[in-house]
Amino acid sequence: MEIDSRSPGFNSSNQSSGRGWRTYLFIVTAIIAVPMLVIFASLLQPFSSAWQHLFDTVLTDYITNSLLLMAGVGVGTLVLGVSAAWLTAMCEFPGRKILSWAFLLPMAMPAYIIAYTYTGILDFSGPLQTALRDTYQWQYGDYYFPEIRSLGGAICMLSLVLYPYVYMLVRVAFLEQSTAVLEASRNLGKKPWQTLFLVALPMARPAIVAGVSLALMETLADYGTVAYFGVSSFTTGIFRTWYGLGELTTAAQLCAFLMLFVFALIIAERWSRQRLRFHHHSAQKKMVRLRLKGWRSALAISVGGLIVFLGFILPATQLAIWASVGWQENINGDFFRLLFNSFSLAAIAAICCLMVAVFLAYTKRAFASRMELGAVAVASLGYAVPGTVIAVGVLIPVAWLDNQIDFLSTTWFDYPTGLLISGTIGLLVFAYLVRFLSVALNTVDSGLTAIKPSIDESARSLGATPSRVLSRIHLPILRTSLLTALLLVFVEVLKELPTTLILRPFNFNTLAVRTYELASDERLVDAALPALAIVIIGLLPVLLITKSILNERFSNE
Amino acid sequence: MNKQLILDKVTVKYDALAAVSDATFSLAEGEIGCLLGPSGCGKTTLLRAIAGFESLSAGSISLHDEYISTPKRTKAPEDRAVGMVFQDFALFPHLNVRDNIGFGLSDFSSGEKTSRVLEMLELVGLVSVADRFPHELSGGQQQRVALARALAPSPQILLLDEPFSNLDAELRTQLAAEIRILLKKNKVTALLVTHDQDEAFAMADKIALLNAGKIVQIDTPYKLYHKPGSLFAADFIGKGTIINVGIDAAGLLGNNLGSLSINALPEDLGNTVKLLVRPDDIAYDESSDTKLPIVSKSFLGPNYLYELALKDGQRVPCLTHSHVDIPVGDELPVRFDLRHVVIFNPD
């Protein structure tokens, strides 16, 4: 990241415009930080009697379950992600190229969708158990079958769809490892497999930690899976405290405690990304992959294939089968309304995120001082904050504001306004902005670092006006990044469940909400159509990443 | 003398393309050799073949009387006692200096290991930074860690792949001289790869000059400079210009360049030859009647390097003290001092 670029961007020719720009930056950051501040401020409020109740009953469950969930998903994503990365980056076997992009497919599958799909497959009345009973003439109770709707089941489901985070980062780490370092280990007398454990894996450790941290952030943010499986965790607890007990403050305080976990993960992730710098070698020779032969090759193909099969192919096929049942009736006006709602909401949110991201990225580039960088960093923390927490943090101040407006309006004009802002699309979009801004910001930012300040300066010295620099140099270079940012936010919004569930306007349904509702009502077959729509759209960013993976520099002729 | 390393007609192919062909070279125990050549000449390939990272298509490599590479069998890199200092040093980023140096000492007991690592740290003068990580070291320190790590298991030969290319120009020659002293003192047989003749001259007892995958000359630094065996060698080593010049049976050169002693001449000489003129072959002489017009000049600090035009327009270099300051366009009085010029038949 370009931190040393103190030389300003094209827009800092005079002091006053710089100051105005900075003011906007701090206003934007402050507004984006409101939900977080509200959550932490809730700790200053008195702890109500509901806490005693929580303490006596479910709080221990929330904490132990969340910890167990994190431990399980941590191990699961670690094992799956690192093996997948090692197979495709360091080994050569038939099908390696296909697997290297197929390993990303589970990313398209939101956890709550894979959870209910597997429930359908593995339940008592599902195809697997039915087939077992028919084959062996078993009756109910004759045999043991693992219960998918459990903590263990949730760990499996989340691991199956979250390992790509580990896979992507570790794969790049393996590919970027200097060949010379691995050769140095051989030269000093270590066998290839010793080299893997003594050198390659330890060097990839920062990438592993960063990847697992991201997967765990998603785990903490997950609501759909744990709620559907009936596992009491922090997120389900927040929902229950709020909707069940009606204790908004207590819910906010629970959110604040959840954030402690989140911050631990943020610190782990940031720290390891810093370490990654030291582990990066630029000198590259042709990568020589370990050629697997015979049974080793067969093992690699079957392990890799099994991961992709369980994480994507099987659930996607099941969804397609369900969706094909009675699709004529299900594709109707309601379904198109659902599509329209989801798409327009996601598009609006994506455009808002992109605009703010472009503003922040340019500010960061122009004024690379500690203050501004700090502000931008605060604004981009949302990716780590669970949607449930953001929703609560958004709702509390807005409810207060609405009540004030209503009160004033009633006293002064004798006209009750009711809830003016709560339950509007605008508020929902704002929550998405807080949560997904960093997705857009990272993409725009990395595009922008490709344009060094010296490029601006050389264009200016060749007589280009600032606007010409923007249109002729920045836009063409940034175009791909901007489109990518739009697409990524669009898809994230489309998949997002808890934020939408809490903040959506009354009777406003999206694909994600409808899928979740139908699945909760055990209408698995009906839920398949909106779920399949989400999965198909979720494939778009996967294709995008795939493209960059296939363009990899490393070949093995 | 006992040969430590013998390369016999070594050929290495990438697909059908030969990166190195028919390379024959040997090093005696304690000798420091150098593979010198322009980039892409195959010198690094040859070094990697000795380390066991490339297989041979023909020929053989033996180390301490044992064949380590033949077309049929390539002994695994980890099983040959070859130490290597990599171009980018290739230090293990996750290990500190001590553990980097100790990495190859798995056969040692832990007590032996500690004392060997300490010995190495002392050898390269890094005891004070033993617990630091590679990214906390300067380039020169990193290089010394790489050297200590490669030497720790007492390899039968040390390979150095462009070991100075990642360092500042000032550091290079100083370090090259230091490392030579260190290697000599410890009687290490070493082979260096470089494209920089100054490094080669500073380090090596013996230089193999490579061009396009072939060894074109093996000689001491002095002979390589003063008696280049080919036009390529003459052109690659040192500064100088090659001119075409007529010569008669008596050894008298055209262009008023004077005469060469007949017994220094090759037998089958035509009536034109190619002549290598080094800047110190033409001396400034105030009293000389031979005056050549100055085409250009560059100031080098202690010297001026003049470019002079001969009668037929060919140009030759001339090195003078920097006090001899004559403007471009004027004439410089010179004396030809063609004692060790090198001539070639034109081909």
Q: What is the CATH number of the domain that holds B67?
A: 3.40.50.300
pLDDT tens digits along A231-264 = 999 899 998 888 888 888 888 888 998 888 888 8
Band of pLDDT at residue A223, cut at 50, 70 and 90: very high
Q: Are B11 and B21 in contact (CB under 8 A)?
A: yes
Contact call for A186 and B82, based on CB within 8 A: no
Q: Identify all chain B residues contacting A181, using CB atoms and an 8 Å cutoff.
A: 90-93
Question: Would you state the pLDDT for residue A113?
Answer: 93
Angstrom distance (rounded) from CA A339 to CA A407: 38
Contact call for A185 and B94, based on CB within 8 A: no
The arithmetic mean of pLDDT across residues A394-415, rounded, is 86
Domain boundary among B209, B231, B253: B231
pLDDT > 70? residue A12? no
Band of pLDDT at residue A557, cut at 50, 70 and 90: very low
Contact call for B92 and A191, based on CB within 8 A: no
Q: Identify all chain B residues contacting A283, using CB atoms and an 8 Å cutoff.
A: 87-88
Question: Would you state the pLDDT for residue A58?
Answer: 83
Same-domain pairing of B52 and B194:
yes
Quickly list DSSP for A62-90: HHHHHHHHHHHHHHHHHHHHHHHHHHHHH
Q: Identify all chain A residues contacting B134, using CB atoms and an 8 Å cutoff.
A: 278
Contact call for B94 and A283, based on CB within 8 A: no
Q: Are A153 and A116 in contact (CB under 8 A)?
A: no
Question: Would you state the pLDDT for residue B279?
Answer: 84
Buried b (16+ CB within 10 A) or exposed e, B49-61: bbbbbbebeebbb
The arithmetic mean of pLDDT across residues A82-91, rounded, is 90
Measure the CA dihedral A454/A460/A466/A472, to 10°: -80
Helices A425-449 and A15-41: angle between axes, nearest 10 degrees: 130
Q: Which domains does chain A have, with CATH numbers?
A: 1-41+326-509 (1.10.3720.10), 51-92+106-291 (1.10.3720.10)
For residue A507, give the 3-state DSSP assignment. coil
Averaged pLDDT score across all residues of chain B: 87
CA Rg value for chain B: 24
Band of pLDDT at residue A14, cut at 50, 70 and 90: very low
Same-domain pairing of B217 and B255:
no
Buried b (16+ CB within 10 A) or exposed e, B215-244: bbbbbebeebbeebbebbbbebbbebbbbe
Which of the two residues, A121 and A285, has the higher pLDDT score? A121
Same-domain pairing of B151 and B290:
no
Question: Would you state the pLDDT for residue A5?
Answer: 37
Lowest average pLDDT, out of B17-21, B116-120, B166-170, B248-252, goes to B248-252
DSSP letter, residue A91: E
pLDDT > 90? residue A348? yes
**Residue in B closest to A180 by C-alpha:** B90
Angstrom distance (rounded) from CA B64 to CA B81: 10
Question: Would you state the pLDDT for residue A281?
Answer: 54
For residue A147, give the 3-state DSSP assignment. coil
Same-domain pairing of B193 and B277:
no
Chain B positions with Cβ closer than 8 Å to A: 51-53, 76-79, 82-84, 86-88, 90-95, 103-104, 106-107, 133-135, 149-150, 153
pLDDT > 70? residue A358? yes
Structure tokens at A358: 């472009």
- From the list B39, B60, B37, the residue with the least C-alpha distance to B50 is B60
Determine phi and psi for B118, rounding to 5 degrees: -65, -40
Q: Which helix (H) or strand (E) holds A291?
A: strand A290-291
Lowest average pLDDT, out of A55-59, A120-124, A549-553, B204-208, goes to A549-553
Cβ within 8 Å of residue A355, ≥6 positions away: none
Question: What ipTM was reported for this prediction?
Answer: 0.74
The arithmetic mean of pLDDT across residues A380-405, rounded, is 88
Domain boundary among B202, B231, B260: B231
Question: Would you state the pLDDT for residue B21?
Answer: 92
Q: What is the 3-class SS of A315-355, one letter each residue?
A: HHHHHHHHHHCCHHHHCCHHHHHHHHHHHHHHHHHHHHHHH
Q: If phi over 0 gives left and psi between -120 and 50 gives alpha, with beta otherwise, what is residue B256?
A: left
pLDDT tens digits along A164-194 = 999 988 988 888 887 888 888 988 988 888 8
Same-domain pairing of B204 and B143:
yes
For residue A452, give the 3-state DSSP assignment. coil
Work out how many domains chain B is built from and give that number.
Answer: 2
Question: In this structure, are strands B82-85 and B272-277 parallel, antiparallel, or unpaired?
Answer: unpaired
pLDDT tens digits along A500-548 = 988 998 888 999 999 999 888 888 888 899 999 999 998 988 887 777 6
Q: Give the closest of B52, B86, B103 to A180, CB-based.
A: B86
Determine phi and psi for B246, rounding to 5 degrees: -80, 150
Lowest average pLDDT, out of A326-335, A344-353, B132-141, B143-152, goes to A326-335
SS3 content of chain A, % helix, strand, coil (to 5): 80, 0, 20
**What is the identity of the amino acid at B87?**
Q
For residue B284, the enclosing domain spans 239-344
Averaged pLDDT score across all residues of chain A: 84
Same-domain pairing of B21 and B40:
yes
Q: Identify all chain B residues contacting A186, using CB atoms and an 8 Å cutoff.
A: 52-53, 76-78
Contact call for A199 and B92, based on CB within 8 A: yes
In this prediction, what percent of chain A has a pLDDT beyond 70?
Answer: 93
Distance from CA of A380 to the nearest CA of B (A): 29
Structure tokens at A67: 């910890």
DSSP letter, residue A95: T
pLDDT > 60? residue B26? yes
Q: Which of B13, B68, B85, B88 to mutate to test the interface with A (most CBs of A within 10 A)?
A: B88
pLDDT > 70? residue A354? yes
Same-domain pairing of B102 and B179:
yes
- From the list A266, A263, A252, A317, the residue with the least C-alpha distance to A37 is A252
Question: Would you state the pLDDT for residue A2?
Answer: 36
Same-domain pairing of B54 and B144:
yes
Question: Would you state the pLDDT for residue A555?
Answer: 38
Band of pLDDT at residue A271, cut at 50, 70 and 90: confident
Contact call for B51 and A185, based on CB within 8 A: no
Same-domain pairing of B188 and B60:
yes
Output A537-540 pairs: Cβ under 8 A, ≥24 positions apart: A537/A491, A537/A494, A538/A107, A538/A108, A538/A109, A538/A110, A538/A491, A538/A494, A538/A495, A539/A105, A539/A108, A540/A487, A540/A491
Question: Would you state the pLDDT for residue B264?
Answer: 59
Distance from CA of B112 to the nearest CA of A (A): 17
Question: Would you state the pLDDT for residue B129?
Answer: 94
Taking one residue from A and the other from B, the number of pairs with CB-CB distance under 8 angstroms is 74
In this prediction, what percent of chain B has a pLDDT beyond 70?
Answer: 93
Same-domain pairing of B186 and B272:
no
Which of the two residues, B259 and B69, has the higher pLDDT score? B69
Residue B195, beta-bridge partner list: none
Same-domain pairing of B194 and B260:
no
Question: Would you state the pLDDT for residue A493?
Answer: 93
Question: Would you state the pLDDT for residue B270?
Answer: 66
Contact call for A187 and B150, based on CB within 8 A: yes
Same-domain pairing of B219 and B253:
no
pLDDT tens digits along B295-333 = 999 988 888 999 998 888 888 889 898 888 889 989 999
Domain boundary among B187, B207, B231: B231
Q: What is the 3-class SS of chain B, one letter each residue?
A: CCEEEEEEEEEEEECCEEEEEEEEEEEECCCEEEEECCCCCCHHHHHHHHHCCCCCCEEEEEECCEEEECCCCECCHHHCCEEEECCCCCCCCCCCHHHHHHCCCCCCCHHHHHHHHHHHHHHHCCHHHCCCCHHHCCHHHHHHHHHHHHHCCCCCEEEEECCCCCCCHHHHHHHHHHHHHHHHHCCCCEEEEECCHHHHHHHCCEEEEEECCEEEEEECHHHHHHCCCCHHHHHHCCCCEEEEEEECCCCEECCCCCECCHHHCCCCCCCEEEEEECHHHEEECCCCCCEEEEEEEEECCCEEEEEEECCCCCEEEEEEECCCCCCCCCEEEEEECCCCCEEECCC
- From the list A398, A427, A424, A404, the residue with the least C-alpha distance to A416 is A404
Question: Would you state the pLDDT for residue A128?
Answer: 83
Which of the two residues, A280 and B220, has the higher pLDDT score? B220
Which residue in the block uniquely carries the two structure tokens 């994480």?
A: A311
pLDDT > 70? residue B272? yes
The arithmetic mean of pLDDT across residues A467-482, rounded, is 84
End-to-end, the C-alpha distance of chain A in Å comes to: 34
Neighbours of A179 (CB within 10 A): 18
Band of pLDDT at residue A556, cut at 50, 70 and 90: very low
Angstrom distance (rounded) from CA B107 to CA B113: 9
- Tell me, what CATH number does B290's domain have? 2.40.50.140
pLDDT tens digits along A189-212 = 888 888 888 988 888 888 898 889
Is the sign of the CA dihedral A402, A407, A409, A410 positive or negative?
Answer: positive
In this prediction, what percent of chain A has a pLDDT beyond 90?
Answer: 30
